[in-house]
Amino acid sequence: MELSVVMPCLNEAETVETCVRKAVGFFEEHGIDGEVVVADNGSTDGSQQLARDAGARVVPVIDKGYGNALMGGIRAARGKYVVMGDADDSYDFTSLLPFLEELRDGADLVMGNRFKGGIAPGAMPPLHRYLGNPVLSFIGRLFFGSKIGDFHCGLRAFNKESIMRLGLQTGGMEFASEMVVKATLAKYDIREVPTTLSPDGRSRPPHLNTWRDGWRHLRFLLLYSPRWLFLIPGLLFMTLGLVAGIALSFGPVTVGEIAFDVDTLVGASAAMIIGFQSVIFALLTKVYAMQEGFLPHDPRVKRVIDWLSLERGLVLGGLLALAGLAGLVASLLHWRVNNFGELNPRESLRIVVPAATALMMSLQAVFAALFVSILRIRRRQHPPVVDVAEEAAGVVDAAAHRVSREAAEAAKADEDAAPAKAATGAKAARTARTAKVAKSAKGDKAAKSAEAPKPAETYGGGNVKIVNVKPKKADDSAGDGDAER
């Protein structure tokens, strides 16, 4: 089968029949070997039967959610290619040919673009049209280098095998973003075709919740991009903190009428620590995501973790700790110069704050090296070593045990069968004796029959009889001296 059209459905009785009939009509018009799969997510309004009557195959999906329903339908699809679209009659299922042609040309994923194809009045709320979709699509393009202009178009087509390899996980509306993000990271051939969006045919409100689902999309984009979530903000914080800290360590800095002094130095120190921690989080998150298969392997990250061994991490942490301790010693000497009396904060904090910052960063570096080493232990698991002699002995023992078990079972079977066998033998003996007696009696009867004279044979109606007389022996005929007649 070439094409499956998958429609998620939750109480779409008003529109599902129309959508199914449009898709079936598209198959018939273009001579396509296809099917319509309605992934029902627990409808209670009779949508299932309406879909079946229109020619669809209904697949029940227990787990709730837009993504769960779609994945259930995609798994059940029999076609090489799959088109997914909402069952609310907002997309035109009679105009799927451009999607199919791109798939036939080798595309892995073909996205619809509503902003290029046209959005009918009332089809999309202004907040979604001018803020939500454009902003989230921009973030997706920025974070992942995608060229897709409409990340959240509900009408899209793809090669089923390619999408199944992505291992899509999300169960809600963010499923739409996950598909595009993972396909981009996997370097799939992704294309766009213009599509139209019409007002849906339902009288009830849509399932989409503006703020909840918008946040879920944004959260997914952030969590799948440790670079933008942790690394880039961390580097910005570290840069600002380092530049401000160095400038303020030598004295106040005046910009126009505003003077920055030790209070700003404390803030710069905090920015430095936060930024350093954020960079470490970016590294740890990336390593974990690569290990678990959430993100593809990045050669740059691999080079970093290969270089950042536990020993190098301890050395780096030790150097930072020495710098911090040197600053604390300098602060003690400064205090001693002032006879351990009251100090001027503008002077003492310029020594203590950098020293404390170095000490805290040293511990962070050590902890990060330890954690990366733990992740590498899991990554570098080795297969168990097999002792060949021990394995062979185990095979021999198993074979001997099997043979002894089979012998015991055979002996038990013979023991159980002995009484039946004896009874069968006795019966056979009796049968043989009976047959022998019968045979003997039959032989005696045959012998008597042979000795008895045969009856006379009569010819015609006369009284002449021909009698077969046994001839006498020669010596008997000469006994009385009778003449020979």
Any idea where the domains of the chain sit in the sequence?
3-223, 226-379
| Kind plus residue range of the DSSP H or E element containing 260 | strand 258-260
pLDDT score of 433 = 57
Average pLDDT score over residue span 288-298 = 80
358 vs 361: CA distance, rounded Å: 5
Nearest of 153, 112, 6 to residue 69 by alpha carbon: 6
128 vs 112: CA distance, rounded Å: 16
Residue, of 337 and 426, whose pLDDT is higher: 337
Sort strands 81-84 and 34-40 into parallel, antiparallel or unpaired.
Answer: unpaired
Average pLDDT score over residue span 288-315 = 83
Question: Is residue 414 pLDDT above 90, yes or no?
Answer: no
pLDDT score of 45 = 92
pTM for the full model?
A: 0.69
Nearest of 10, 13, 36 to residue 24 by alpha carbon: 36
Average pLDDT score over residue span 107-111 = 96
pLDDT score of 384 = 56
Q: For 42, left (φ over 0), alpha (ψ -120 to 50), or beta?
A: left
Question: Is residue 402 pLDDT above 70, yes or no?
Answer: yes
Classify each residue of 29-62 as buried b or exposed e, where b means 16 or more C-beta atoms within 10 Å of its C-beta. Answer: eeebebbbbbbbbebeeebbebbeebebbbbebe
Question: Is residue 277 pLDDT above 90, yes or no?
Answer: yes
Question: Is residue 378 pLDDT above 80, yes or no?
Answer: no
Average pLDDT score over residue span 359-368 = 92
Task: Return the CATH architecture of domain 3-223.
Answer: Alpha-Beta Complex (3.90)
pLDDT score of 455 = 43
- Which region among 109-113, 241-245, 337-341 has the lowest average model confidence (pLDDT)? 337-341
Average pLDDT score over residue span 180-195 = 94
* Count of beta carbons in the 10 Å neighbourhood of residue 314: 15
Question: Is residue 231 pLDDT above 90, yes or no?
Answer: yes
User: Residue 67 in 3-state DSSP?
Assistant: helix
Question: Is residue 450 pLDDT above 70, yes or no?
Answer: no
217 vs 213: CA distance, rounded Å: 6
- Which region among 137-151, 249-263, 265-279 has the lowest average model confidence (pLDDT)? 249-263
Average pLDDT score over residue span 371-376 = 82
